[in-house]
Structure 1
Amino acid sequence: MAEITLTPRAAKRINEIMGAEPPGSSLRISVNGGGCSGFSYAFDVAQGREADDIVIERDGATVLVDAMSLAYMAGSTIDFVNDLIGQSFKIENPQATASCGCGTSFSL
């Protein structure tokens, strides 16, 4: 299965966010049913790891993705963007056939 890539900008922002969290905290990204396009991404701070978690690390930042979500995110790139609309994590998912304007939901 294709791996998930974390950009340097995303790693930097994750490190900034985790700096305010308890030591050992990680960013968890999961895929849930729902959203305007069928599936949506959820971003949470995790205090521990689950047995089926895939661990993505870059420049000291850690992202956790559960095995079920990995099936929907394989090959994706996680980036952090700062544009006129605001700041957000952006996931470029090669499996997505469509996505909504907000960029947090997609369909396969």
Structure 2
Amino acid sequence: MEATVLERQVLLTENAARRVKKLRELEGNPELMLRLSVSGGGCSGFSYGFSLDDKTTEDDQKFDYHGVTLVIDTVSLDLLAGSTIDFVEDLVGSAFTVKNPNATSTCGCGSSFSV
């Protein structure tokens, strides 16, 4: 049975949305969306990829939060369903982070995971 849209939803925090808005402002392109993808590789098996994009394909799912659109291709969405995307700033630096309930392990850098 196929998962419902709600079960496959990925959330974007207000803090992450604020950062995307700031990046759109810096790039001078109000159409930019945050694209999240998953690819094979990384120290734990899969790696998260973040980019800004102003185009979508028919394979993309879009989620709108706090005035920002999060775009995820359907293959990546299978591995990300139920995740929350945040933006954190600390002494080490700043980055988008993924809290993924599907990950059975993650690496120390937080940018790769396994299922």
Task: Say which of 91, 95, 98 aligns to 1:91.
Answer: 98
Aligned to 1:13: 19
The residue matched to 1:89 in structure 2 has which SS? Answer: strand
Aligned to 1:52: 59
Q: Give structure 1 stretches of 5+ with no counterpart.
A: none
Structure 2: how far apart are the matches of 1:68 and 1:19? 30
How big is the alpha-carbon RMSD for the aligned residues of Structure 1 and Structure 2? Answer: 1.0
Structure 2: how far apart are the matches of 1:4 and 1:63? 8
Aligned residue-pair number: 108
2:48 paired with 1:61: no
- TM-score by length of structure 1 reads 0.94
- The share of aligned pairs that are identical, in percent, is 47
The residue matched to 1:29 in structure 2 has which SS? Answer: strand
Q: Give structure 2 stretches of 5+ with no counterpart.
A: none
- The runs of at least 4 aligned residues of structure 1 exceeding 6 Å deviation read none
* Structure 1 range deviating more: 55-64 or 91-100: 55-64
Aligned to 1:23: 30
Q: Supply the AA of the counterpart residue of 1:11.
A: A
The residue matched to 1:96 in structure 2 has which SS? Answer: coil
The residue matched to 2:58 in structure 1 has which SS? Answer: coil
Structure 2: how far apart are the matches of 1:65 and 1:59? 17
Aligned to 1:102: 109
- TM-score by length of structure 2 reads 0.89
Structure 2: how far apart are the matches of 1:25 and 1:79? 17
Aligned to 1:39: 46
- Map 1:60-79; keep pairs closer than 5 Å: 60-79=67-86
Q: Supply the AA of the counterpart residue of 2:13.
A: T
Q: Supply the AA of the counterpart residue of 2:18.
A: K
Q: Displacement of 1:13 after TM fit?
A: 0.6
Q: Displacement of 1:23 after TM fit?
A: 3.4
